[in-house]
Structure 1
Amino acid sequence: MRITEPERLGRSRLPDGRSLGWAEWGPTGGAPVLLCPGAATSRWLGFGADVLDDLGVRLVSVDRPGLGASDPAPGRTLQDWADDVRHLAVDRRLDGLAVVGYSQGAPFALACAAAGLATSAAIVSGTDELAAPGFADALVPQVRGMVDAVASDPAAAEASFAGFGDPETMWQIAIAGASAVDREVYLQPPFERAYRRAMAEAFSQGPAGYARDTVLASGRWPFDPADVTVPVGLWYGPHDTSPVHSPRPRRHPGPPHPHRPPPRRPRGGRLAAVDPLGGDPPLTAPRRHRGLVLRSRDVTERSAGETHTPPAGASMTFRPAAPSRSTPRGTATSGTASHDSGRIGNPPPRSATE
């Protein structure tokens, strides 16, 4: 496995005087894609650097406030994050921005989409809205306890998360909770070095940024995923065992789908992309959430570890539906999905590098 260091590093100043740290890969005039990293990591851990030039993609990974090179913002909210990204997009000239949320970065990416900042979104092994009432009987006891703690006393929960947040502890938690296929990826020397470096930078200011992120991700989200009208791609490995990624995944046999490239610019709030590798047998993963219908086709048996760098995956449809009271809001499903956000050029970037 090859992990490529950022090609460009810098910080962008916000109107309130704070700065956001960012890292970039790919052509400066490429289609901008904003990466919201997972829990306890930083801008240093990107993905797909070896294909960005060919795809014409400019990948921008951003440290959330209090992590890495971004100044803290005590008491920040998901709406505050979207506001920060709005200013960053102007400063960095990220016109036609698409967003990617990995793991705990999912609610932050969706917050940007809900705020109208993104042309499309991809959720990679993303955490669902665990505090949604429909998940009450689906969470494992440890996760249920975490969600209840955040709901009953957010400040105390945040202090508790800060108490055990450090790079080594988080690394051990990641390894202990990983499936065998994920652990194999984590322990490959190049990946382990890169992951540990990203965690070390994330905690360079202390654990407060990580703790705040966890409170925001574990509480009720201030938006309904059903209100996100741009195309959303969902990527989940069928061997993903994380209890916070997919509390209620369901997989069912389905009809084959013709092999063809995904559409370049999905329209009408619908994502339709296909698996060029095929599935034997092909699978579907229908799931009705409050206000959402999610459906995937041609899901192949891939490891969850591969979701760190999403492979070309299965078909996924995302469209608004009538609200249902029997199931929760969210984005969790099993399998992998591929997404093509299109290629939208933009002017050369500005802002001083570090």
Structure 2
Amino acid sequence: MDYGVREPARLGQTELPDGRLLGWAEWGPADGTPVLLCPGAATSRRLAFGGAAVDAEGVRLVSLDRPGLGASDPAPGRTLTGWATDIRHFVQERGLHAPSVVGFSQGAPFALALAAHGLVSAVAVVSGSDELAHPRFAHSLDPQVRGLVDAVAADPAAAEASFADFGSADALWDLIIMTSPEADRTVYTDPVFQAAFRRAMDEAFGQGPAGYARDTVLAMGRWPFDPADITVPVDLWYGQQDTSPVHSPDLGESLARTIPKATRHLLPAAAGSLLWTHSDAVLRSLLAHVR
């Protein structure tokens, strides 16, 4: 089956004000409607979505490597606020007027940070990680995830070192397959998709595990912004069959009540891989907000 993974049309790096390079990949027409992509945990800019729909809808899809992953230089101690600062410069340099953004899985808080800083016109959170350290999830997290959240709260530096010790492309792949339902394993182990997914993971760890470890600390900690202050439209997409313990514990229900212009799309037959199984619907809904 075609899950919409394609080779990038364009690859590059953009220099940031402090001299670091930010890696990116693009699909679709260079003059198309700009849509940024914040990929999931430990995957590089090369793993996109949408396939032929990106061209058909006239979308300029721009996937971004976070610092320390793939082709982006590291930024030790970086924050979600610092990420927004990087992307503010990036969109100006690349001429991306009023982009929207998709945040998949662990990319969700990075996408929402861009909205909180007024950098995007709309957001699609797909199978997104929620603010797991928020008190509203005090009694609903998987016990192992609760342990990780508590470790980050108690000693962020020690937790980051622990994540780095664990982090590798093989370890993350095994964890994904182990915690995924059959609907997701069907997607992830499709020969074409698996090859693209594993290559993106290998690239993400090309500089070592530090980038992944920092991402995980940021995802497991409190967000430095209030989602209630986000003023742009936000689509929250979740599959009811999603079994990932690090996605939203309530599949976006409480987050939808918090964000003023949020719409929750709960798909009964879908799971965590819906970015690739329902990419047309995600794109169409996002574009409806910005066109």
- Report the TM range for the smaller structure's normalisation: over 0.9
Which segment is superposed worse, 84-93 or 287-296? Answer: 287-296
**Residues 133, 69 of structure 1: CA spacing in aligned structure 2 closer, same or farther, 3 A cutoff?**
same
The C-alpha deviation readout for 1:283-310, integer Å capped at 9, x for no partner, is xx78764565856478453343333353
The C-alpha deviation readout for 1:127-159, integer Å capped at 9, x for no partner, is 000000110100011000000000000000000
Structure 2 partner of 1:214: 216
Secondary structure of 1:60 counterpart: strand
Secondary structure of 1:183 counterpart: helix
Hey, what's the Cα distance between the residues in 2 that align with 1:203 and 1:131? 26
* Gap runs ≥5 in structure 2: none
Matched-pair contact (CA < 8 Å) for 2:230–2:260: no
- Please list every run of at least 4 consecutive aligned residues from structure 1 whose deviation after the TM superposition is greater than 4 angstroms: 285-300, 342-345
Q: 1:51: how far off?
A: 1.1
Q: 1:49: how far off?
A: 2.5
Q: 1:312: how far off?
A: 5.1
Q: CA RMSD in A?
A: 2.2
Hey, what's the Cα distance between the residues in 2 that align with 1:184 and 1:214? 26
Hey, what's the Cα distance between the residues in 1 that align with 2:289 and 2:142? 41
Matched-pair contact (CA < 8 Å) for 1:48–1:309: no
Secondary structure of 1:185 counterpart: helix
Hey, what's the Cα distance between the residues in 2 that align with 1:19 and 1:57? 24
Secondary structure of 2:286 counterpart: coil
Q: 1:249: how far off?
A: 4.1
**TM-score, with normalisation over the residues of structure 2?**
0.93
Secondary structure of 1:212 counterpart: helix
Does 2:194 align with 1:192? Answer: yes
**Residues 134, 55 of structure 1: CA spacing in aligned structure 2 closer, same or farther, 3 A cutoff?**
same
Matched-pair contact (CA < 8 Å) for 1:185–1:191: yes
Matched-pair contact (CA < 8 Å) for 1:57–1:343: no
Does 2:159 align with 1:157? Answer: yes
Look up the equivalent residue of 2:78 and give its one-letter code. Answer: R
Hey, what's the Cα distance between the residues in 2 that align with 1:35 and 1:291? 20
Structure 2 partner of 1:304: 272
**Residues 71, 296 of structure 1: CA spacing in aligned structure 2 closer, same or farther, 3 A cutoff?**
closer
**Residues 292, 95 of structure 1: CA spacing in aligned structure 2 closer, same or farther, 3 A cutoff?**
closer
Matched-pair contact (CA < 8 Å) for 1:150–1:218: yes
Hey, what's the Cα distance between the residues in 2 that align with 1:130 and 1:337? 26
- In percent, how many aligned pairs have the same letter? 59
**TM-score, with normalisation over the residues of structure 1?**
0.77
Hey, what's the Cα distance between the residues in 2 that align with 1:145 and 1:215? 13
The C-alpha deviation readout for 1:251-302, integer Å capped at 9, x for no partner, is xxxxxxxxxxxxxxxxxxxxxxxxxxxxxxxxxx787645658564784533
Matched-pair contact (CA < 8 Å) for 1:113–1:119: yes
**Residues 16, 187 of structure 1: CA spacing in aligned structure 2 closer, same or farther, 3 A cutoff?**
same
Structure 2 partner of 1:18: 20
Matched-pair contact (CA < 8 Å) for 1:235–1:310: no
Hey, what's the Cα distance between the residues in 1 that align with 2:71 and 2:265? 40
Secondary structure of 1:162 counterpart: helix
The alignment covers a number of residue pairs equal to 289
Higher helix share: 2
